């Protein structure tokens, strides 16, 4: 495995080995998920004391106060393993959704749940159907276990083309999952009840209804358009449906990683076998259980988002920077059309000014930036940064 040699400090280290270990091609070619740039890293890199981060769709109000109290109390018993059944959280979710406890599965963020479902129902060579510019974690989770992602084109207005997705399901025999985030990250666009009703009824006819439809509703609490359907209605009608939800957005506890899936118990059974017994830690479970009860915080968070969205729409209009209508807590902005710069270029210039936004080149959208909605003050800081960069471009 390589010769051993002494380091300058006298430690024994090994040369880089010439490994004869086979690595699957789908792992070799995997492009891992890249998270938003951290505030601490930006401060170090640019010598800044204050940084505004509007990159990761986090709640700008911070966590639910009730969640924080529950977390602190749970820390008094860190010597004990967490409740693997997540009884209290499931009971709270059951009351919230008017469904039995057995219809819920708790995960270390909804990303873990995506991974668990694919591992439970797929073998290498199976396929999933997604749209172009859909949340990239679907593709990453699939490739990690050797699945193929079939991507269908979006419409001209950056919406999912459910007809093309349905045709892909019908024409590929090994499709096991189709993912429909509503609204979608990073575009913020959505599908309507009429569109989804037709899609669901048609998918149910394909191969005996064996294709699992995952409705990812991570941003449901921010939705204001009545044409976007409530997801649980499909659970009651179709046995092949999984609804994904998260505590990382409106509840403000992204750092604790708690998500949940809702599905018929028969669909959850195989996943329970694959799930690790203590996949969510005790303080996180306690915090999520209390966050769920904090209706006032959720209401305030949604209100701040609506106000912030109006603030951004007005500012972008004044700057003549095009954007996509959004039903999430973020907005996708075409800086190439509006500023004559690529998304990554504007991102880098904003970093120098202490503002972190999100380039989406990895989604095939190099002309865009995704901007999370912050507090009024955070939004103002980011808007001023864009104004300054835009002005400097105009003077060149």
Q: What is the C-alpha separation between 311 and 306, in angstroms, rounded?
A: 9
Task: Give me the percent of the chain exceeding a pLDDT of 90.
Answer: 86
The kind and range of the H/E element at 196 are helix 193-203
The kind and range of the H/E element at 333 are strand 330-334
- What are the distances in angstroms from CA 33 to CA 59, 107, 247, 280, 360? 21, 18, 20, 21, 12
Give the list of residues 6+ apart from residue 263 with CB closer than 8 angstroms, or none: 103, 105, 235, 241, 242, 243
* Sign of the C-alpha dihedral computed for residues 122, 126, 128 and 129 taken in this order: negative
So what's the pLDDT on residue 391? 85
Q: What is the mean pLDDT of each run of 10 residues along the chain (396 residues)?
A: 47 58 82 80 88 96 97 97 97 97 97 97 97 96 96 97 98 98 98 98 96 98 97 95 98 97 97 95 98 97 98 97 98 97 96 96 96 98 96 67
Tokens 């860190």, located at residue = 78
So what's the pLDDT on residue 35? 75
So what's the pLDDT on residue 97? 97
- The DSSP 8-state label assigned to residue 222 in this structure reads G
Structure tokens at 338: 């509006």
Residue 96, phi then psi, degrees to nearest 5: -65, -40
pLDDT in tens, 240-280: 999 999 999 999 999 999 999 999 999 999 999 999 999 99
So what's the pLDDT on residue 36? 78
Delineate the domains of the chain, giving CATH numbers in brackets. Answer: 25-61+296-394 (3.90.1150.10), 65-293 (3.40.640.10)
Partners of 4 in beta bridges: 14
So what's the pLDDT on residue 31? 78
Q: What is the DSSP string of 25-94?
A: HHHHT-----PPPPHHHHHHHHT-S--EE-SS---TT-S-HHHHHHHHHHGGGTTSPP-TT-HHHHHHHH
So what's the pLDDT on residue 20? 75
Task: Give me the percent of the chain exceeding a pLDDT of 70.
Answer: 94
């Amino acid at each position: 495995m390589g010769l051993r040699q002494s380091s300058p400090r006298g430690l024994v280290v090994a040369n880089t080995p010439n490994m004869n270990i086979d690595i699957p091609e789908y792992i070799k070619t995997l492009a891992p998920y890249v998270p938003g740039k951290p505030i601490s890293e930006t401060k170090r890199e640019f010598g800044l004391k204050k940084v505004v981060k509007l990159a990761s769709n986090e709640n700008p109000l911070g966590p639910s106060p009730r969640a924080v109290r529950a977390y602190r109390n749970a820390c008094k018993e860190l010597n004990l393993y967490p409740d693997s059944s997540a009884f209290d959280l499931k009971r709270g979710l059951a009351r919230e959704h008017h469904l039995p406890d057995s219809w819920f599965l708790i995960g270390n963020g909804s990303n873990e749940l995506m991974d668990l479902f694919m591992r439970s129902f797929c073998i290498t060579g199976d396929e999933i159907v997604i749209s172009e510019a859909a949340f990239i974690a679907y593709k990453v989770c699939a490739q990690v276990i050797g699945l193929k992602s079939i991507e269908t084109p979006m419409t001209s207005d950056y919406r999912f083309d459910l007809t093309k997705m349905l045709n892909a399901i019908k024409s590929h025999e090994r499709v096991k999952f189709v993912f429909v985030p509503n609204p979608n990250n990073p575009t913020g666009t959505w599908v309507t009840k009429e569109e989804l009703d037709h899609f669901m009824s048609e998918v149910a006819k394909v191969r005996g209804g064996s294709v699992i439809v995952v409705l990812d509703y991570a941003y449901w609490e921010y939705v204001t358009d009545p044409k976007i359907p409530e997801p649980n209605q499909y659970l009651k009608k179709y046995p092949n449906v999984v609804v994904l939800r998260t505590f990382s957005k409106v509840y403000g506890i992204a750092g604790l990683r708690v998500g949940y899936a809702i599905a018929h118990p028969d669909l959850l059974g195989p996943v329970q076998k694959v799930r690790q017994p203590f996949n969510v830690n005790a303080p996180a479970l306690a915090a999520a259980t209390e966050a769920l009860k904090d209706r006032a915080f959720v209401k305030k968070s949604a209100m701040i988002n609506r106000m912030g969205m109006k603030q951004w729409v007005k500012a972008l209009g004044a700057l003549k920077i095009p954007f996509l209508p959004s039903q999430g807590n973020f907005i996708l902005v075409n800086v190439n059309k509006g500023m004559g710069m690529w998304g990554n270029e504007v991102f880098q210039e904003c970093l120098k000014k202490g503002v972190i936004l999100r380039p989406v080149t990895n989604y095939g959208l190099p002309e865009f930036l995704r901007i999370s909605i912050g507090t009024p003050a955070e939004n103002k800081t980011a808007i001023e940064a864009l104004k300054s960069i835009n002005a400097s471009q105009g003077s060149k």
